[in-house]
Each structure stands twice: as structure tokens, then as C-alpha cells.
Amino acid sequence: MKTIFFQIITGFVLLASSCNTIEKQTTPDLANARQLDSFPASGVYLAKDPHGNTLASWVRSINDSTSVFCVAISDDDGASFGEPIVVPGSDNIHPHAENLPKVIRKPSGEIIALWGAANPSPRNKYAGAVFYAQSFDNGKSWSSPKPLVKDTAGNDQRYYDVALMPDGEAGIIWLDNRRADDRQVGSSLYFARTSGNNGFTGERAISRECCQCCRTKLLVEPDGNIHVLYRGIINDSIRDMVHAVSNNGGQTFSAPRRISSDNWVINACPHTGPAMASNAKGLHFAWYTGGPGKGCYYTSSNDNGKTYGRRDSVSSSGSHPQMAALTGGDIIITWDEPIVAGNNIHKRIGVEKRSAGYTGNKKYFLTGDTSTCVYPVIVPLKDNNALVAYTQETKEGKKLYYRKVNFKSIGQ
């Protein structure tokens, strides 16, 4: 399937020009951007572990043909990271900003590193595979990498997400080529979970007819509800975001429901997936659509996904949204969008705070108008702080940077 490129230059100019009409509001306190890796790198991902530490994972480029999986740990609330740890045997990793390398730590202390690799076949030259490795000594040593799927009928697994289950095991969802029958379009959404130190087991399809090329989101709430969010294929041609929930530990999931009827008709690869977070007010969603009124949007649900609010614009030209709920309940959305500077078109990182009481939104930008910064990710820190990381294009290649952001400075 052909990859659709949203960033067509002429579209950039028109969309970015409209973005210039948005005034920057109160700027939060920002720590200076710090570089995560001295090597060229991309695909940064952030996660929290059960002890409150921040985990970062990314793809380090060794040369034009070789990359490896890196992990680093911050034990000072995102102020700094330890030395990068290279996962042995990860040199088959395939850099992809939507198919991020991910890391998760279980309460037992086990760290699991997951990454995507290319797996082309005559049927699908874009096919991929997911591999993972386990560490039981804080990253000092790692098991040999193993494939997530051993079924030979499953030759394409991509766009996965991981989260801790209520019992301390790790759950994972991913898009898979295995279909119910020949009438099914798109991919299937699969779910599995770890079993002690034995890795992921019990894989099964939990939904069908999913867009093959947008990242997915897995969210587990403190009450045990398990939520999945992905771009579905509706009536053979509409590609809108759909949500399903399990209230029995992942044994069964509800029928998927559209979070917004965008009615985006497209037969191509959007490569921009959804985001989801939760707080005391309910569930929160952010996504991109290329349908009528295209752009990045937000909605919420206060009844566990039975109904959803009317969509609200975040950025008319933004895409690749990510989201976090801060300790005080505020929702933070981050995204990238084009900006015109002189005769050049760059991309910048936008951030929006939606207050816990829905009393107003605050929007501003973390990066300038004369650099190109893309694919931001975000995790909450203590005291209504957050950590935002992103890829920046430089003369030396792609580099990774992170900032600690204090959202206390933005009023309600």
C-alpha cells in the first residue's frame, strides 16, 4: 500500500500560514533542552516504571545501514538520564517514528525492550515483525531477542503498544496480518500478556478491520479497565478512530465505537495514530484526521466509552499527537505542525494544557520557528511537571532532545 505524505509542500504553506494566527499564550517554565544521545538517533519513547522512574528508549544510528535499540533510566524525576544501555542483538531494528521502540518495567523488576524489524515478503514488502528482550538485573544483561509471534501465518506485526496489567504483568496490543477470512479488510488487532518470566503468551485477536499503518494505544486504568484505541476501517473505506474496553482483565472487549464520526475516506497509509489518557473526569483522546475539517482534535468520555463529546480542534495542521494526565489532573497534548519561516518550511512542537476543570485551554510551542522538530512524546512527572522528548533535524543528522516542563506556571 502506498504511503500517503501529508506534508506536501503546498499544503504545508497554506496550513502553516493559518497556524500563524494562533497566539502563543502563557509560556510554562522550561528546562533547557538536553540531548539524549550523542549519536544520531530517532524514534524516542518515554514511559514510567512502578517506582516513578522515567524510562527512555530510542533507535541509535550506528551508520547508514545499522541501528540498535537504546534504553536509559532517569531516577531524578526527569532531570537527567543515565548512560544509554544498548540491547544486545537489536541490530535488526527498523527505525520508524510511528512504530516506536518501547520499554516497560514490571513491579517484579523485569525490564522488557520491544522493537520493530523489517520482515518483507512477496505478499507484502512493507511487512514487519516485533521482537523483544528481557532483563532481570536492571539492564545489565539481556535475554536473547525473541519474536513476539511464532505462528508462521503471522508474517506482519507492527504498531504495537504496551502497558502494565492490574496484576503486574505486561500487556501488549499490535496490528497483525492474520484475518478471520478473505472478506476481512485491513489488519487484525491482537492482544497478549506476559506470564511471569516467560514472556508474552496467550495471543488472540480482539478486533478486526483495522487500518494497517497507524500506531495503536493501550491504556489500563487503576480500576482495572483495559482500553484500546486504534484507527478502524469502517464500511470498507472510512478510516476513523475507534475505542473498545475490557472490564474483565482482557478476557473480552466491547464492540469498537468511533470516538468521532470524521468520515475520512482514504485508501492509503496515514501513519499518524491516536493518543489516550485518563483522570478523575474520565477518558481523553487526541488524534489526527484528514477528513472534513482536517487537523488534530480532542474529545473525552465520562461514561467509560459509551458516549463521546463533540470533537474540539487542537491544531488545524498538527499531527502525531501524544497525551498525558498530570498529577493534578490536567491533560497535556503535544503534537508537531509545520511553520513557515521566510522561504523555508520547518516543523515545531506544540503543547496544549486542558485544565482538570475544563475552565480553559492554554496553547504554546516548545520549539522555535527556524528548526525542524518532530514526533514528540510525553510522560507526567511529579508536581504537575512533564517530560517532553522529540527528534530534531540537524546538520549532523537527527538528534534527540528532552525538556522538563513545569505546568504550574500556567494558570487555570
Residue 185 lies in a domain: yes
pLDDT grade, residue 358 (50/70/90)?
Answer: low
Residue 368 has pLDDT above 50, yes or no: yes
Residue 146 lies in a domain: yes
Supply the mean pLDDT for the chain: 91
Residue 27 has pLDDT above 60, yes or no: yes
Read off the pTM: 0.92
Helix (H, G, I), strand (E, B) or coil at 314: strand
Q: What is the pLDDT of residue 22?
A: 39
Instruction: Say if residue 71 is exposed, middle or buried (CB neighbours under 10 Å; 0-12, 13-18, 19+).
Output: buried
Residue 23 has pLDDT above 60, yes or no: no
Alpha-carbon gap, residue 309 to 298, rounded angstroms: 9
Residue 267 has pLDDT above 90, yes or no: no
- Cell numbers of 72, please? 536509559
User: What residues contact 137, with CB distance under 8 A and at least 6 apart?
Assistant: none
Domain around 225 = 29-37+119-406
- Per the structure, the count of domains in the chain is 1
> Do the beta carbons of residue 43 and residue 59 sit within 8 Å?
yes
Residue 49 lies in a domain: no
Residue 46 lies in a domain: no
Helix (H, G, I), strand (E, B) or coil at 10: helix
CATH code assigned at 225: 2.120.10.10
Q: Considering only CA atoms, give the Rg of the chain.
A: 20
> Do the beta carbons of residue 136 and residue 110 sit within 8 Å?
yes
Alpha-carbon gap, residue 173 to 157, rounded angstroms: 10
Each residue's pLDDT tens digit, 71-84: 999 999 999 999 99
Each residue's pLDDT tens digit, 184-206: 999 999 999 999 999 999 999 99
Residue 21 has pLDDT above 50, yes or no: no
